[in-house]
Amino acid sequence: MARQEMDSQVSALRSMMSRRGFFGAAGAVGAASVLAACGTGGGSANPSASFPADTSAADKLVRWANWTLYLDVDKGKYPTLETFKKQTGINVDYREDVDDNNSFWGKVNGQLRTRKDIGYDIVTLTDWMANRMIQYGYTQPLDAAKVPNKSNILTALANVAFDPGRQRTLTWQSGFAGLVWNKEKLPKGLKTIDDLWQPALKGKVTVLSEMRDTVGCLLLSQGVDITKPISDAQFATALELLSKQLSSGQIYKVQGNQYKNDLINGTAWAGILWSGDIFQLNAENGDKWGFALPESGGTLWSDNMMIPSTSSHQTDAMKLMNYYYEPAVAAKVAAYVNYICPVQGAQAEMEKIDPKLAASEFIFPSADTLARAKTFVGLEAAQETSFNDQWLTAIGQ
Amino acid sequence: MNAPVVPVPAAGVQAVRSTKAGTRRRWTPYLLLLPGLLWLGIFFIIPLASLLMQSLQTPVPNGLAGQFQQTWRFQNYIDTLSQPNFYNAMIRSFTYSFIATVLALLIAYPLAYAIALRAGRAKPLLLVLVVAPFFVSFILRTIAWKQVLGAEGPVVSTLQALHLVQQNFTIYPSSAAVIAGLTYNFLPFMTLPIFASLDRLDTRLVEAANDLYAGNLVAFRKVTLPLTMPGVVAGTLLTFIPASGDYINSELLGGSVNTTMIGKVIDSRFLVLSDYPAASVLSFTLMSIILAAVWLYVRKAGTEELV
């Protein structure tokens, strides 16, 4: 009992600290960003006309905003970053400043609009926010000659809808959203989204509060290709399915990664959830949960590095990106963070570090698996607002 | 008595001096109030005014998400408040926090009474125990409640083992779990003010009532309770106001559609949708309703001795 309580406390802490721990954001950073977001006046919609002159050579500095627990760490230092500093003489100011895409956006969008330095040379944001950054002209192009390792990117990630050919962004880490089930309760496992609606799972299903992951999986199950523009009618049909399952009580909750507690305490038996969390949970609690992409396909999300339009350290930033796309370096990061590694060749390097991890479908998914994972299309601003509004209304917010 | 003889020529000087002193005396209270007024002005009045203005904005035509202009559109209030999602969440918030306040009062009063009047040497220890939960983060404690109330947690398992409930019975997530969480989280805010007034209670008055043939119940109703009303008023305010705006409990212990409280709605509309006017309308309305309710309550209950 005590042991179980300890575990739950630890996992509670973890879920608060982990990459998608959105309560930290909602609570602490929320207040600050709310203030920062207050200035909502006019201003030009296209600040990309010119970028600051490159002062990389003189400054030798890269300021990088990333999520928490998202880089290999050892005794308060980041080994791969230390190596980079030694190799290049470039100083890296690494800050775990991103708790939540929305609150980070709230914090920086005013300065980006008025072209004031936001204090970062690389920001790491999720696909849909990367899409927004590009649409608003808040990113700088990557010079392929300065990032030759860019070609190491996984084929599945090379041509995302919001940035074909990766002209302005480069994947940091990726993950799946798909079917998760408790192996004890459901020894047969789950294969399709429809399997979630079986009577035995009434009140035991939970889905993600990340609109693109949940609606994405539902759309795929309805035969919609989510990598192509989505019509209002298609979106409405998917939301109808969600509302039906919510009002019948089949889905008991739509939530962020606090669902981990529910899996542990037996409240949730199944759901549409994130692969990275299940990897961690299985490592901590015995191999209790299964994960699979639905037969109709699951979503592939990524966090992407990009250079904000206000940065004057473009070359140094690109050097850093290039460094992390060396397979050996990427393997070291993957061995720590356990998300999908976006770099080809890292699997072979991982064999030298930990053969068990190298065989993991969670970190190095097979081509078969990757073929079934889709990235949600980049939405136009007006459609994004409308979809978000309908989504929030459907889940009671 | 030797009245001091005031030399006539000096009277003028004295008058001047006393005017100066009078001026100083007149300004002193304001000077002393200045830090407080500045604080109130900068951190309350200005944000409040900006919130009110923001609630009257409309999107910039063809602008980006989160870009709004001041158009003084009062229709925003009608548009926003007529959405079922919003007013339902608002009504739910007040209902939850009202029930939680009543429950907290019912638990806190006997608790404070026991600590203040019956605990003897254990008083300081018991007081520390009341405050002890504050040493752990609010969110962590609420997450712990999820484990306690979860499907395989101690509460449900015990009830099932005693065959009091069906096998598929659940407490979390539900309205009951949210209200339980609110009650638990705000209990110390209710207990401490009531304890403070009970601790100051002159027990000789109760003895006098007993001497005058009042039974224990009557003595409590006529003497103890009226004398500790300031603590009760302070405690209910400290519980009801933050509980109405709280959304952590509903988010963690509730489900999704039927237990959403207004705080969560405001948060989502602000951060996810960047719909600042709607979020401001909801915030401002929430605050006005709380203010009106508190005003009525305080007028009824009296504030003369409010701690």
CB pairs under 8 A between A and B: 129
**pLDDT band, very low/low/confident/very high, at A73 (cuts 50, 70, 90):** confident
pLDDT at B226 over 80: yes
**Chain B residues close to A43, C-beta within 8 Å:** 67
Provide the H-helix boundaries in chain B. 10-40, 46-54, 75-81, 84-113, 123-131, 138-149, 154-161, 175-199, 203-211, 216-219, 225-245, 248-253, 262-267, 276-301
* Mean pLDDT over each residue of chain B, to the nearest integer: 89
Q: Classify A67 as helix, strand or coil.
A: strand
Q: Check if A9 contacts B (Cβ < 8 Å).
A: yes
Whether the link from the prior residue into B173 is cis, omega within 30° of 0, is yes
Instruction: Tell me what pLDDT residue B20 has.
Output: 67
Using alpha carbons, list the distances in angstroms from residue A360 to A181, A344, B45, B126, B192.
18, 15, 57, 53, 54
Residue of B nearest to A209 (CA): B256
Q: Which of A22-36, A278-292, B68-82, B224-238 has the lowest mean pLDDT?
A: A22-36
Instruction: Tell me what pLDDT residue B23 has.
Output: 74
- Say if the Cβ atoms of B140 and A13 lie within 8 Å: yes
- Residue partners of B218: CB distance under 8 A and separation at least 6: B209
The string of pLDDT tens digits covering residues A199-253 is: 999 999 999 999 999 999 999 999 999 999 999 999 999 999 999 999 999 999 9
Structural domains in chain A, CATH included, are 14-28+48-172+302-341 (3.40.190.10), 175-300+381-394 (3.40.190.10)
Using alpha carbons, list the distances in angstroms from residue B276 to A136, A354, B50, B189, B266.
19, 49, 11, 32, 9
**pLDDT band, very low/low/confident/very high, at A11 (cuts 50, 70, 90):** very low
Structural domains in chain B, CATH included, are 12-54 (no CATH), 79-301 (1.10.3720.10)
A:50-69 residues touching chain B, CB 8 A cutoff: none
Nearest to A8 among B60, B147, B248 (CB): B147
Instruction: Tell me what pLDDT residue A161 has.
Output: 84
| Phi, psi at A183, each rounded to 5° | -70, -30
Using alpha carbons, list the distances in angstroms from residue A134 to A144, A319, A395, B39.
18, 21, 29, 41
- Say if the Cβ atoms of A13 and B89 lie within 8 Å: no
pLDDT at B7 over 80: no
- Say if the Cβ atoms of A38 and B50 lie within 8 Å: yes
Give percent above pLDDT 70 in chain B: 91
Q: Distance (Å) from the C-alpha of residue B18 to the closest C-alpha of chain A?
A: 49
Give percent above pLDDT 90 in chain A: 69
**Chain B residues close to A388, C-beta within 8 Å:** 272-273
- Say if the Cβ atoms of A396 and B256 lie within 8 Å: yes
Nearest to B150 among A15, A255, A267 (CB): A267
The string of pLDDT tens digits covering residues B131-176 is: 999 899 998 999 999 989 988 889 999 999 998 888 888 899 999 9
| Phi, psi at B246, each rounded to 5° | -70, 140
- Say if the Cβ atoms of A392 and B152 lie within 8 Å: no
Residue of A nearest to B278 (CA): A389
Residue of A nearest to B172 (CA): A267
Q: Check if A396 contacts B (Cβ < 8 Å).
A: yes
- Say if the Cβ atoms of A261 and B147 lie within 8 Å: yes
pTM (two decimals): 0.82
Q: Which of A26-35, A38-47, A358-367 has the lowest mean pLDDT?
A: A26-35
The string of pLDDT tens digits covering residues B250-262 is: 999 998 788 999 9
- Which of the pair, A362 or B238, is modelled with greater confidence? B238
Q: Check if A363 contacts B (Cβ < 8 Å).
A: no
* Mean pLDDT over each residue of chain A, to the nearest integer: 87
pLDDT at A90 over 90: yes
pLDDT at B1 over 50: no
Q: Nearest to residue A261, comparing CAs of A2, A1, A5?
A: A5
- Say if the Cβ atoms of A262 and B150 lie within 8 Å: yes
Instruction: Tell me what pLDDT residue B271 has.
Output: 85
